[in-house]
Amino acid sequence: MRPDVALLDIGLPDVDGYELARRLRPKDATTPVLIAITGYGQADDRLRAQSAGFDYHFVKPVNVEGLLTLLSSLTGRGQASGADNGAT
């Protein structure tokens, strides 16, 4: 199964979300769109997520309205990528 979008928690046991992101999407691939859902929200956390391949970064508690807006925009595949993209 190859999803179009994956919401991943960063703080997972054994294999963290950064490693899972690298495994799900090889370098230079554009799918799946990877969205970090995490308690880690500092600038260096966002940079680390971006370098692992995440397209978007949401800090818990997730702004559900912002997440739904993002997911809705992705259904048309007219996405603008950015590890933060104003998400909180």
Single out the residue of 22, 2, 73, 65 nearest to residue 36, CA to CA.
22
CATH number, position 64: 3.40.50.2300
Which of the pair, 83 or 76, is modelled with greater confidence? 76
The pLDDT of residue 1 is 72
Express each pLDDT in 3-46 by its tens digit.
Answer: 899 999 999 889 999 999 999 887 788 889 999 999 999 999 99
The pLDDT of residue 87 is 52
Residue 26 resides in a domain: yes
> Per the structure block, which two tokens stand in for 38?
């995490």
The DSSP output letter for 2 is -
* Residue 29 burial by Cβ neighbours in a 10 Å radius (0-12, 13-18, 19+): exposed
Residue 82 resides in a domain: no
Residue with tokens 């950015």: 82
Which structural domain, as residue segments, surrounds residue 36? Answer: 5-74
The pLDDT of residue 30 is 86
> Per the structure block, which two tokens stand in for 64?
């559900």
The DSSP output letter for 34 is E
Express each pLDDT in 47-81 by its tens digit.
Answer: 999 999 999 999 999 999 999 999 999 976 544 44
Residue 11 resides in a domain: yes
Q: Taking the CA atoms of 62, 64, 65 and 71 in sequence, report the sign of the dihedral they define.
A: positive
Residue 40 resides in a domain: yes
38 strand-pairing partners:
59
The pLDDT of residue 78 is 47
Please count the structural domains in the chain: 1
